[in-house]
Amino acid sequence: MTNSDPKRPLRVLQLTDPHLTAQSDGVLLGVNTRDSLAAVIDEALKVHGQPDLVLATGDISQDASAEAYRYFGEQLQAFQCPSLWIAGNHDDTPLMTAIAAEFQADPRQWIQGGWHFVMLDSSVHGKVFGELSAEELTRLDNALFEQIELPTVVCLHHHPVDIGSDWMEKIGLKTREGFWRIIDKHPQVKVVLWGHIHQELQQQRNGVDLLATPSTCIQFTAGSSDFSVEPRAPGYRWIELDPSGSVVTEVRRASQFEFKLDESSTGY
């Protein structure tokens, strides 16, 4: 699949951690997650217009309900482009994958606009932390060997680096060495993109952009030792990918969205 206009960069929208529920009035720490998602989608359309591709990087549902996944797919109809979904620790991976398939959002590899996208499953059933199985690591390695000429974005849910937050360090990606061993031998990888941490992060490692993105609902306090949330607006990441391999990205927040966050909570 190719970009409609090869002269301009591929425009990619990342939405992550919506934590939707089956009920329309479902809330997470006081925030109605359907309303916050709607505010983020409206902001993206208002500020950036239509993307060419949407990447949904996990925790789509808080209650792992079919209703939540279908609602998410229906909301993405606001975008006239494909979407790719991966599971997070709150998701029911088989169920999410089945419903993603209804929306043609289940491919694990994707080529568009001169870029290659690899979608990884770092979820572990019944656990908050993430792992990449030996099978998943082999799939990643093979996918990168298959498309060695194309600049590549690798997506997963769990953070594969230390983000300076003690409580989140325990629930990140456990199988980091094997992951980075593969990434390091494939110089066409330009971006590693994830969710899970409910905050903005942008670093570089060996020339690879490491990007994490605010949740479309609640935000975790950056650098906190213990669980902590802060009343920042929900957001998204916009990425423009040039076929040459260059990357331009920014995070935007739906600052007009009004909510009353339960800041006293000790978990979610």
CA dist., res. 203 & res. 156, Å (int): 16
Query: What's the gap between Cα 253 and its chain centre?
Result: 15
CA 65 to chain centre: 19
The CA distance from 195 to 58, in Å, is: 7
**CA pair distance 229, 263, nearest whole angstrom:** 6
pLDDT in tens, the chain (268 residues): 444 466 789 999 999 999 999 987 777 776 889 999 999 999 999 999 999 999 999 999 999 999 999 999 999 999 999 999 999 999 999 999 999 999 999 999 999 999 999 999 999 998 999 999 999 999 999 999 999 999 999 999 999 999 988 888 889 999 899 999 999 999 999 999 999 998 999 999 999 999 999 999 988 778 888 887 787 899 999 999 999 999 999 999 998 887 777 666 656 6
Three-class DSSP category at 230: strand
Contacts of 146 (CB under 8 A, 6+ apart): none
Picking from 249, 244, 250, 14, the residue whose alpha carbon sits closest to that of residue 151 is: 244
List beta partners, residue 194: 212
* H or E segment to which residue 55 belongs: strand 53-57
Q: What pLDDT is recorded for position 41?
A: 98
Q: Which of 171, 159, 160, 161 is nearest to 227 (CA)?
A: 171
Cα 26 to Cα 228: distance, rounded to the nearest angstrom: 21
CATH of domain 10-253: 3.60.21.10
| Sign, Cα dihedral of 21, 24, 28, 34 | positive
Q: Are 204 and 186 in contact (CB under 8 A)?
A: no
Q: What is the DSSP letter of 95?
A: H
For the chain, give every domain's residue range.
10-253
Residue with tokens 């999410």: 96
**Which two structure tokens, joined as six digits, stand for 8?**
């301009």
- CA distances to 3, 40, 234, 266 from 256, in Å: 32, 10, 10, 26
Question: How is residue 88 written in tokens?
Answer: 């997070």
